[in-house]
Amino acid sequence: MIPVTGFEGRSVAILGLGRSGLAAARALRLGGAIPVCWDDNAQARGRAEAEDFDIRDLTRLGAFDDIAWLVVSPGIPHLYPEPNKVVAAAWEAGVPVDNDIGLFFRSLGSGDWDHYDTPPRVIAVTGSNGKSTTSALIHHVLVEAGKPAQLAGNIGRGVLDIDPPVDGEVIVLELSSYQTDLARALTPDVAVFTNLSPDHLDRHGGIGGYFAAKRRLFAEGGPDRAVIGVDENEGRYLANQMGQGAADDRVIRVSADSKLTGPGWNVFARKGYLSEYRKGRQAGSIDLRGITGLPGAHNHQNACAAYAACRTLGLAPRMIEQAFQSFGGLPHRSQTIAEQNGIRFVNDSKATNVDSAEKALRAFPNIRWICGGLQKEGGLGPLLDALGSVKKAYVIGREAAGFALQLEGCEAEVCTTMEQAVARAMEEAEEGDTVLLAPAAASFDQYDNFEQRGEDFTACVKAALAG
């Protein structure tokens, strides 16, 4: 665990006692602070009490009289659509509001680092889509290269739960907009921006607020290197803001759409080939087409971002390529779960929005598409251009009929349940087809989370294949 320093003998309030909240309380206590905990959920308070943490109702008058700092869990709104009442009370009391990411960055360094040959470094990855795969891929490459590395943040362990880093270690963090938006300290050595598409708009007051939350990782942090996807205007703007000219190789531009061969440092993928250019000359290349764990253009963008981040650490292109070959992908993200009789079964339950589902649909030919669930704002219009490879859609969810009506020009069957959708897709699938779960919707109408939905798909497929 990373002890949180700077609050010795002072009371620090923690709002929200889930995984990150309890970890923050433990790390604060380890660093000498006095954690004061609150959660509206009685069970969550009970877990904190079982660890002998003080419980205080932070909504009551005077609750902040002796509080030096407030740490807020990422799921709790602090500004939009409206501030949580405890956050508002902290503002009124003049108490700084932070989160576990801010605590992590302000507490990471230690006196031991003065004796290290190579100080530990942090690579932080954010963006709308692909940040989990990119983070896991970077970590995988480092491990395969024999480098000490830990993976944490929005994936793997909580940031304060990791082990204190050793000499030369690299900490890879996946950071959501919820995490970057509130952190008072953001100082990664390498910051990665994958892409931007509309998501969590109510939480950030619109697309501008959402992008601003992502941008803080770069603007506040001042990383030594910035790896930036430039396939959207927001990425191009960010790269321009971070650079001091076209040849500034502190900014590495990444694309899965365009050939980038300017005077700076560029990594791009075209037709399945990754290329690295520095100062207008090719410095490395990888054929991505046969890498099972990285199918489709969206994963090629992830590969470019991971490649660029690893190159900033001095890893050779051939070493990175070798590690890519052994990357198995992440559960629920374009994950091949089975192949039989020439039919491939792919679980992309994480495709919870239209943009990520579109990328999945463009990654495979001859698709039997299982889709549907709790729709997000904006409708399915942007998906329609990506339906050319879909042979038929099998729609699940409580509003399956309404979802199916929006799939203009695509044959769709209302199945409602996962079991029925898998059964019908398998009945009709032919050699060369891909049965793809890419819902383009949230899971909460039928499941607790997208992981549970993906596990149900996997179970249905395996049961049907075994039977």
- Extract the runs of DSSP E, i.e. beta strands, from 329-389: 335-340, 343-347, 367-371
Q: Can you tell me the distance from the alpha carbon of 404 to that of 411, in angstroms, rounded to the nearest whole number?
A: 9
Q: Is 99 annotated as a binding residue?
A: no
Q: Can you tell me the distance from the alpha carbon of 301 to that of 227, in angstroms, rounded to the nearest whole number?
A: 12
Cis peptide before 77 (omega within 30 of 0): no
> What dihedral do alpha carbons 295, 296, 300, 302 form, nearest 10°?
-80
- Amino acid letter for position 215: R
- Only one residue has tokens 């939480």, namely 203
| Cβ atoms of 136 and 302 closer than 8 Å | no
Q: Is 132 annotated as a binding residue?
A: yes
Q: Is 129 annotated as a binding residue?
A: yes
Q: Degrees (nearest 5) of the Cα angle 19, 354, 177?
A: 35
Q: Is 32 annotated as a binding residue?
A: no
Residues paired with 14 in a beta bridge: 37, 71
| Cβ atoms of 271 and 264 closer than 8 Å | no
Q: Is 133 annotated as a binding residue?
A: yes
Q: Can you tell me the distance from the alpha carbon of 299 to that of 44, in angstroms, rounded to the nearest whole number?
A: 37
Q: Can you tell me the distance from the alpha carbon of 63 to that of 203, in angstroms, rounded to the nearest whole number?
A: 26
- Residue among 262, 241, 239, 185 nearest 217 (CA): 185
Q: Is 214 annotated as a binding residue?
A: no
Q: Is 154 annotated as a binding residue?
A: no
Q: Which residues are annotated as a binding site for ATP?
A: 127-133
**Binding region:** 127-133
